[in-house]
Chain A
Amino acid sequence: MSDKKKKSNANIDTVDSSSSYEVASQYKLMWWKFKKHKAAMIAVPVLIIMYLICMCCEFFAPALPLERYKDYKDTAPTRIHLWDDDGNFVGPFVYGLERYTDPYTFRKSYVESDQIIKLGFFVRGSEYGVFGSNLKWDVHFFGVKLPEGEEPGGHNVFFLMGTDSLGRDVFSRILSGGRISLSFCLVSVAFTVIIGLTLGGLSGYLGGVVDTIVQRAIDLIMSIPGIPMWMALAAALPSTMSNLKKYFLMSLIMSLIGWTGLARVTRGKLLSLREEDFVIAARMCGSSHMRVIFKHMLPSFLSYIIVSVTGSIPGTILGETTLSFLGLGLQAPTVSWGTLLQDCQTVDSMAATPWLMFPALFIIVSVLCFCFMGDGLRDAADPYK
């Protein structure tokens, strides 16, 4: 309340920018501080775009994740051209692909033919249900412009990042995998917040026996190496379990091990706040425990919780992709960035089809963005520093 008053005062007085710093609200200060972190200011829009694209992956992908182009297995990424061989501007197009067998090694590959296939935005493609509903739509954000009456899946093809050994479009699968991998870390973090806040809060606010028990539990979990523990718990999930169930249980497993950090932060902050004058004053005025916690204490350590939570997201993404890669996490036909990378486990397969490593790029970019965002938030959390 007082913040708002101060702000309106500042407006009335029309003070210059240097002194408005002194009267700006806490959130305004945080925003200013966050804005100074350039990497974070780039990371946040990138993340938002990634989430939006992966959320509507059927629309943004030119093909469906499980759709097979039987005649185009292990195709290298198609090159996009703007000018034809004679130097005339055609607009974005790709050349058709012809199968070519090396006369010496008998290795099959594809070479460009003379056929020009035009690309375009908002093109007709394979039919999909909008957000998994029964509402069918066949418009894709970009892809080949199919001639009137031709069905998708023919020889007018375009693979931005190549195809895998079953002839599925890698780029479309990456977007679809991103939906799983990127949402997975949020679900897991939600579980972490629930467990960590509850246990850390109880431990810090109540103290005594509860505190001791929670602290010992944290010691216990932190003394067991996380990755082997994840693997053991993930392996205990029965293989017959439905994919959706597995998805939620896997994220729960991640948070069962990951909640300790958040609980420590919460407990530490609560312990120090418990003795603050304003909390004691609130208690003296007859506020209930709940009111003291949520009205008076929570706002003053919310920022630290957000920092701690964003800090745990990169680890979750890395954990999920690692487990899925090793075949212990989400399993095919569920598409996640980790399961996609299973296709390049050996040096031979990497040498023959290096484009199957594209999912790695997406993992690195998303983790990096979360790291930068976490850094920016950490700076912003304490704007008075």
Chain B
Amino acid sequence: MLLNYILKRLLQLIPLLIAVSILIFIIIQLPPGDYLTTYIIQLETSGLEVNQSEIINLTKQYGLDKPMYQQYLYWMKNIITKLDFGRSFQWNQTVLSLLQQRLPATISISLLSLVVTWAIAIPVGIVSATHQYSGFDYFFQFFGFIGMSCPAFLLALASVFILFKLTGQSLTGLNSAAFVNAPMSWAKFVDMLPRLLLVIFIIAISQTAGMIRSMRAMLLDELQKQYVITARAKGVKEKKLLWKYPIRMAINPQVSTIGWVLPGLIGGEMIVSTVLSLPTMGPLVKRALTNQDMYLAGSYLLIVSVLTVIGTLISDILLAIVDPRIKFGGVSE
């Protein structure tokens, strides 16, 4: 039954993914001119000779002389069959090699932020609901409002500034200057840890705020219901009562909205890492966008969108496991 459900959802994903890729292709085609003209202009301004045969080669390779829809098919075909995402003209490398250098860090930071978001939001939400209007509750409500109203780039700037004032160290980048080009070692990892934690917390905070609020509200709703009162009247231990039903009920919506949290985290990662100039995709994509290096930007958009779609799928499957009431095949309201 569950397998059937997963298969069905997977099949539903295919048209969505195709539509996403078409939309992204259109977006990266929006700026006037194609990649080659940008490339040629760049070569000319940097005073390099434009190699005619190379241009013909590139035109052929990416089918730039073909109509739009064929260009799209080329793009997709290259990605699916050869993992060839095209070339970054700005870096003069294949997009794939750039992705290999930087995407793992991006994805791990985003996923770690998701874990931290959950690890903070769920317990805090639970305690805030069970101790409503306590000092703890008010503190985190205040914290939540700050997290919601402060843009991520500002949080990044402010925390770096404050840490600079306190410790005299500038915590931008993932490593201090001494370690940037050093091979991975224990010392480098220790050097990286506080910076990494800072980044993860900044990204997590803005998402945490919303999640604490919804967790608290859901649990408060649950706690007022008749079955809780009945169970309490029958003498069920408070802790057991809480964990057995209301918390499980309140967590469901959090699980089902992973698909919405994920894009936020990815966007947050992009902004924070641009501000702190981390060696991840963020600064790269920002530069690619301003310089219209569109294969790179498009590939990033495509990959994060696919990841988001997969994340949503996983959350749906998780929800089906956590909440048996979800009718397989359609999500009941």
Contacts and interface: CB of A to CB of B under 8 A. Distances in A.
A351 B268 CA distance: 24
B157 A344 contact: yes
Contact of B309 (A223, A233, A318, A344): A223
A223 B16 contact: yes
B164 A228 contact: no
B31 A321 contact: no
A350 interface: yes
A53 B124 CA distance: 39
Interface in B239-281: 259-260, 262-264, 266-268, 270-271, 274-275
Interface in A336-376: 341, 344-345, 347, 350-351, 354, 357, 360, 363-364, 367-368, 371
Contact of B145 (A216, A226, A227, A371): A371
Contacts of B32: 238
A236 interface: yes
Interface string B269-312: 01100110000000001100110100001001100110011001
Nearest to B13: A223
Nearest to B307: A225
A344 B146 CA distance: 21
Which among B24, B157, B160, B301 has the highest number of chain A CB atoms within 10 Å? B157
A225 B294 CA distance: 17
Contacts of A341: 153-154, 157
Most buried by B among A219, A228, A357: A228
A82 interface: no
Given A327-B290, A347-B170, A224 B20 contact: yes
Interface in B159-176: 160-161, 164-165, 170, 172
A351 B161 contact: yes
A351 B164 contact: yes
Contact of B260 (A219, A222, A238, A368): A222
A326 interface: yes
Nearest to B265: A225
Nearest to A232: B27
Interface band, chain B? 35 or more
A314 interface: yes
A225 B160 contact: no
A231 interface: yes
Contacts of A233: 27, 30
A285 to B, nearest CB: 31
B290 A328 contact: yes
B9 to A, nearest CB: 12
B267 A220 contact: no
Residue of B15, B151, B259 most packed against chain A (CB within 10 A): B151
B23 interface: yes
Interface in A204-231: 216, 219-220, 222-229, 231
Contact of A223 (B20, B28, B149): B20
Nearest to B302: A224
Main secondary structure of the interface of B (DSSP, over half): helix
Interface centre among B15, B289, B312 (most CB of A within 10 A): B289
A322 interface: yes
A48 B45 CA distance: 51
Among B152, B270, B292, which residue has the most Cβ atoms of chain A within 10 A? B270
A30 to B, nearest CB: 20
A235 interface: yes
A184 interface: no
A371 B312 contact: no
B170 A235 contact: no
Contact of A220 (B19, B28, B146, B304): B19
B149 A364 contact: yes
A224 B305 contact: yes
A307 B279 CA distance: 40
Interface string A253-268: 0000000000000000
A224 B28 CA distance: 14
A220 B305 CA distance: 10
Interface of B: 15-16, 19-20, 23-24, 27-28, 30-32, 145-146, 148-154, 157-158, 160-161, 164-165, 170, 172, 259-260, 262-264, 266-268, 270-271, 274-275, 285-286, 289-290, 292, 297, 300-301, 304-305, 308-309, 312
User: Which 5 pairs of residues, A with B, have the shortest CB-CB distance?
Assistant: A227-B267, A225-B263, A235-B289, A236-B30, A367-B149
23 contacts: A216-B16, A216-B19, A220-B20, A220-B23, A222-B260, A223-B20, A225-B266, A226-B263, A227-B266, A228-B267, A233-B27, A235-B289, A235-B292, A236-B30, A322-B152, A326-B271, A326-B286, A347-B160, A350-B164, A351-B165, A363-B150, A364-B154, A367-B150
Interface of A: 216, 219-220, 222-229, 231-236, 238, 314, 318, 321-322, 325-328, 341, 344-345, 347, 350-351, 354, 357, 360, 363-364, 367-368, 371
